[in-house]
Structure 1
């Protein structure tokens, strides 16, 4: 490519498109003699005539027509790419990634308030369990569920998780008819496994000193929303996040299996990104907004659970440094 005179080809393409040296000079903002000089240089380089003059008009030769068709296509593609880049640069866009259940059940009902407060911005939400590779993917930040330790990234705490065994009122009543002992109730319960939660049944049972000799999961889901829905339908007991089903708990569609078991309370939701991303005004604005929304929600959830008679037990998230 180093032996191709791009400036001369631009002059040639403009002359061929405009039909005259004078019109091309006006478009390019140079003198007609400068345009003519570039055409002569290009003809000398290619060793062919690109134009012939007929009755004071410039007519493309066969070789000139071949070059013109190619140059027109190439410059058109470049202009289109430039326009696309400029549009993308000027577009006020916020891109974030969030786990599916948290995105649908918690963020989804609230994100409209953020958009209403920031109408000049558009937002794209990718709901996936996979974390963003910020070196190779385009995203402003992740809302992550986890232990809060990701090397090389800025990690802002968003919200604690509140985890307890939950089921439908009817299912709880059937278990209570079997025994007054909550441990014995669990031995007769169908345990619904949320495989992506940090406090799964085996860890929770050990923490609460409940021995189940035959721990099996007839139902296991990688989406908390599915586990909670099955529990709401009376299909078993789900050990999952109150944050994802607070409305169900407030309505009484889901209830604590037993008040003898405290609510596990631990930091679990984080806003994660390279530190440089926090310099974007919209990212900093979102961080402030979600912190306030999470604080309001968490206070509401704790008040609801306290009113039900629940106790809270502070815990470190599994995998966090002690």
Structure 2
């Protein structure tokens, strides 16, 4: 690279591309004589003629054409890269991380409305169960599923989870034919286990004093979205989140299996980031939009469940085995 006359190559490429010393001089902001001098130096370095000079016309020689093919591609790539870098510097990005099921079933259908209100921002969403390490990850905020209390970060509650047994209407009718008690109906059901959910069947059974002699999980999923879809297909009974499947409940594709048993109601979704991130205007703007969307959704979800005859058991977290049972005899 030290042996290449980069300035001469740049001047040569401009003349060959534009077909004129004068035009090349205008583009590069130099005099025509400077252009001519650099081309002569380049011809001297290579020991060949690069242009044929015929009166006022300049045409490439064979060697000149070979050099032009190489240089025009190289300079075009450099120009494109430079433009891309400049555009990237001017673009504003909001990057957030969210649990997969919440991202797909709740945030995904709504994020377009936030984007419409913030057209000058690019939005990147990473759907993963892994929390961000804000010291090393280029992430503005997390939407976390959990009980809160994470060290070293600020957290704001976004929305409660509303957990209850859910199934397709026809499946509820088949369970009802198995007996009058909750235990009899559950014994006839194929239970769907969401293995990463904070509130699972063993906690629900203990809290409601439901005793089953033997039960297993024909379906076990690490994503609530899969549990919900399986229940919708009439294949089993899911203990899962009405927060994540409100549209399915509104369409009647899912129904509460036991509406007389209170819905488990606890804070489960949080906006999490270092406290300093709330100094960023876009983070606060997103937090405000998120609050409005969550409140609207929560009102709809509670109203729908109440229309099915459901009530709510408010808890501070999912570990209900350590608290007093709800006083319901369901065996």
Give the TM-score normalised by the residue count of structure 2: 0.74
1:95-124, Cα deviation, whole Å (9 max, x unpaired): 655455434432344345434544565656
Cα distance, 1:299–1:40 mapped onto 2, change above 3 Å: same
Structure 2 counterpart of 1:187: 187
Write the distance in 2 (CA, Å) between the matches of 1:2 and 1:209.
Answer: 82
Please state if 1:38 is matched with 2:46: no
Write the distance in 2 (CA, Å) between the matches of 1:14 and 1:250.
Answer: 65
Structure 1 counterpart of 2:72: 72
Write the distance in 2 (CA, Å) between the matches of 1:56 and 1:251.
Answer: 78
Structure 1 counterpart of 2:256: 255
Structure 2 counterpart of 1:55: 55
Write the distance in 2 (CA, Å) between the matches of 1:76 and 1:171.
Answer: 64
Please state if 1:310 is matched with 2:311: yes
Cα distance, 1:35–1:302 mapped onto 2, change above 3 Å: same
Write the distance in 1 (CA, Å) between the matches of 2:4 and 2:151.
Answer: 47
Write the distance in 2 (CA, Å) between the matches of 1:275 and 1:70.
Answer: 52
Check the 8 A contact 2:263/2:310 in 1, yes or no: no
Q: Secondary structure of 1:220's partner? A: strand
Check the 8 A contact 2:259/2:310 in 1, yes or no: no
Count of aligned pairs between the two proteins: 317
Write the distance in 1 (CA, Å) between the matches of 2:29 and 2:192.
Answer: 73
Structure 2 counterpart of 1:13: 13
1:128-176, Cα deviation, whole Å (9 max, x unpaired): 6676788998876554434557777665432221112223455445545
Please state if 1:267 is matched with 2:260: no
Check the 8 A contact 2:193/2:219 in 1, yes or no: yes
Cα distance, 1:73–1:154 mapped onto 2, change above 3 Å: farther
Cα distance, 1:303–1:64 mapped onto 2, change above 3 Å: same
Check the 8 A contact 1:146/1:317 in 2, yes or no: no
Indicate the larger mover: 231-240 or 107-116.
Answer: 107-116
Q: Secondary structure of 2:243's partner? A: helix
Check the 8 A contact 1:99/1:144 in 2, yes or no: yes
Q: Secondary structure of 2:76's partner? A: helix
- The correspondence of residues 69-218 of structure 1 with structure 2, limited to 5 A, is 69-87=69-87, 98-118=98-118, 141-148=141-148, 155-169=155-169, 171-172=171-172, 174-176=174-176, 178-208=178-208, 210-218=210-218
Write the distance in 2 (CA, Å) between the matches of 1:245 and 1:42.
Answer: 70
Indicate the larger mover: 143-152 or 286-295.
Answer: 143-152
In structure 2, list runs of 5 or more residues that go unmatched: 320-331
Check the 8 A contact 1:167/1:257 in 2, yes or no: no
Q: Secondary structure of 1:189's partner? A: coil
Question: What's the offset of the Cα at 1:294?
Answer: 0.6
Write the distance in 1 (CA, Å) between the matches of 2:275 and 2:162.
Answer: 28
Write the distance in 1 (CA, Å) between the matches of 2:301 and 2:271.
Answer: 20
Question: What's the offset of the Cα at 1:220?
Answer: 3.0
1:257-312, Cα deviation, whole Å (9 max, x unpaired): 2534x433333223456777666644432221011111222244344445624231
Structure 1 counterpart of 2:325: none
Please state if 1:242 is matched with 2:242: yes
Cα root mean square deviation, aligned: 3.9
1:225-281, Cα deviation, whole Å (9 max, x unpaired): 443344345433210001022344456640142534x43333322345677766664
Write the distance in 2 (CA, Å) between the matches of 1:21 and 1:256.
Answer: 82
Indicate the larger mover: 98-107 or 120-129.
Answer: 120-129
Give the TM-score normalised by the residue count of structure 1: 0.76
Structure 1 counterpart of 2:329: none
Check the 8 A contact 1:267/1:317 in 2, yes or no: no
Indicate the larger mover: 137-146 or 293-302.
Answer: 137-146
